[in-house]
Structure 1
Amino acid sequence: MKKAFLWVAILFTFTGLLAGCGSSEKSSGEEDKIVIGYFPNINHVPAMVAKDQGYFEKQLGDGTKVEYKTFAEGGSFMTALKTGDIDAGLVGPGPAMNNFSTGADVKIIAGASTGGTVVLAREGLEINSLEDFQGKTFITPGVGCTHDVQYETYLEEAGITSARIGGTMKHLTGNPAQYASMLKTGKVDIAVAPEPWAAVIEQETNAEVVIGWDEVSFGETLPASVLVATGDAVEDSPEKVQKIVNAHKDAIKFIEENPEEAKAITIKDIKEVTGQELEKEVVDRAWGRIGFTYDVDVDTIQDFADSSYTLKFLKDKPEFSELIANNFIK
């Protein structure tokens, strides 16, 4: 009898090892799984609402388990998409375009939000003209991220560039949730912040908004976040991708019809992810600087990409007609 139990244990162990080695065949009745990625900022509220309301589960059905993974910046998100750690999610258009231009398998399948990029100067720093940005240290979530390109494009038009391409501005990257303390200590002079962190900075410091969300380049027209998936998913599983987009559209409709409830969901989700509880006043201020839409402005995407090339974030002059799969939002 003991031998029988021993062989059963060995059999289960061997079976478990096979499963751990990535066997792609599912046993009868086994759940499918998708992982949705997003960032803990207000441009990514559609993902938070979809998560809270169970929209992905409703669209994909009981046979699919939905999990969520959060990111602080676009580079790690795109790595996760490329490695299959996530299946879809919200990211800034900058990382999506940068990775597409180097051959990454990524498709924009819907818009998500616009606006929400605010540039602030630490207390006591005199910024009275564009020339005053020369030699200053600025911080963005990532090199070549959406907010970085918006900021550098705005200044490049005045002939001011970062040290990365021969200019005088020094560039740091970091988690936007830490920008307020970095400004207070003088570690950075300028913070290029996505909402709600710009509103947090205004509340916690005496930092001054020096470039508003509607003044910074592409501020009112560029998708601040987009819904992406892999090209393989778009080609091989269009029905599943359509359901993901449908859930995303449901979330945006909810935001439009229930803004106060959507704000409460945002406060709750950001606290769970970052440990920081935003005050309602902060969220209200940030909310006024963004919009939510699943449409994608294709021309603006190309203009933004051309600017990324000019700023040398992209090695080759881009053409993004194949990046956007608009058929899922029609």
Structure 2
Amino acid sequence: MRRVLTAVAALAVGATALTACGTSGSGSSEPTVRLGYFANLTHALPVLGVSNGQLQQALGSTKLETQTFNAGPAAIEAVNSGAIDATFIGPNPAISAWTQSAGSAIKIVAGATSGGAEFVVKPDITDSPDSLRGKTFATPQLGNTQDVALRYWLKQKGLSAPKEGGGDVYVAPQDNAQTLDLFKQGKVDGGWLPEPWASRLVQEGGGKVLVNEKDLWPKGQFVTTHLIVSQKFLESSPDKVKALLQGVVNTLNTVQANPIKAKADVNAALKTLTGKALDETVLARSWDNLTITVDPIASSLQTDLDHAVDVGISKPADLNGIYDLTILNSILTAAGKAPVSAQGLGKQ
């Protein structure tokens, strides 16, 4: 059921240029905020906020430069190297960046998405250990959020799935597009995937949902995407961080005011970024499976780490201090909205 603490983030050192999808920005010496995000639906807030100009509008005369990524470790390396100031990212890469730097590299300053992950399998597979044993299931990346979720869920079923292979179930980390193709060909038995890939396995591959991950969490809430900033950037430019967060909150307001239009606008922006829009039925199902929010759902982060430790993906670590939600909460309270909680893992 959960996230991921990527034990393989170190392999991404120096790989930013290889895994980044693209950049936008002048590279000039004018005041800038350099922001990373992914061109997918679980990053709907930055996808929309960049495309409709709300992030740039909030930054005023400070120029927004953006870079899109395919993988969390590459985005973390870009933050660590100083290539970007902030990035939207999944929980596990953030935990990895925190622990590997002994708490000196990043802070989580806002949420972006909750939910949006499912375990989709062939129609004849059930959740009984006998039905699962000997099967091959895909995840997006070794040690990523969904990879840990699947391995932990299997362990609760009494089934082993070690990252080295050779267990009761084989977990195959691979690109999501490859998983869809192999699932259609019958070469993998399913996958624990984020949206929109889970919906694509259902609607294009004829799969069934064996587990909706939100059913495994209290109130169905768990962090899928949040916003991190480098601590150097937070300390040197808190005004820029505040402006960026104001733009994020403004974008959330736009989504909440007209979710139907926001959904269409996000899909149009994804087409610009990737060259292809999502099918309308896939979009509708995926969108309904997500909760777009600036609440980082901090209550789920420690559990993410605990599960990663349990399945041998990471080592125990102290997450105290990983959040700094003070700027976000100042914006929320000024707008008459409820503040969000760090659940004892940092400032709020």
Structure 1 residue runs of 5 or longer lacking an equivalent are: 1-28
RMSD: 2.1
What does 1:101-250 correspond to in 2, within 5 Å? 101-103=99-101, 105-122=105-122, 125-164=124-163, 167-216=167-216, 220-250=220-250
Structure 2 residue runs of 5 or longer lacking an equivalent are: 1-27, 330-348
What does 1:214-293 correspond to in 2, within 5 Å? 214-216=214-216, 220-293=220-293
Instruction: Give % identity.
Output: 28
- Any idea what SS the aligned residue of 2:163 has? helix
Cα distance between partner residues in 2 of 1:272 and 1:173: 28
Amino acid across the alignment from 2:257: E
For these two proteins, the number of residue pairs brought into alignment is: 299
Cα distance between partner residues in 2 of 1:204 and 1:140: 18
Query: Alpha carbons of 1:310 and 1:219: their partners in 2 closer, same or farther (altered >3 Å)?
Result: farther
Larger Rg: 1
**CA contact under 8 A between 2:114 and 2:225: conserved in structure 1?**
yes
Aligned twin of 1:327: 326
**CA contact under 8 A between 1:122 and 1:184: conserved in structure 2?**
no
**CA contact under 8 A between 1:50 and 1:248: conserved in structure 2?**
yes
**CA contact under 8 A between 2:129 and 2:158: conserved in structure 1?**
no
Aligned twin of 1:59: 58
Greater alpha carbon shift after TM alignment, 241-250 vs 108-117: 241-250
Taking structure 2 as the reference length, the TM-score comes to 0.79
- Any idea what SS the aligned residue of 1:148 has? helix
Cα distance between partner residues in 1 of 2:283 and 2:79: 29
Cα distance between partner residues in 2 of 1:97 and 1:287: 26
Query: Alpha carbons of 1:183 and 1:219: their partners in 2 closer, same or farther (altered >3 Å)?
Result: farther
Aligned twin of 2:84: 86
Cα distance between partner residues in 2 of 1:66 and 1:176: 29
Query: Alpha carbons of 1:44 and 1:295: their partners in 2 closer, same or farther (altered >3 Å)?
Result: same
Q: CA deviation at 1:217?
A: 5.4
Provide, for residues 41-88 of structure 1, a one-character-per-residue CA deviation record: whole Å limited to 9, x for no partner. 2211000111122122112212x2222222222122212221222221
Cα distance between partner residues in 1 of 2:187 and 2:108: 36
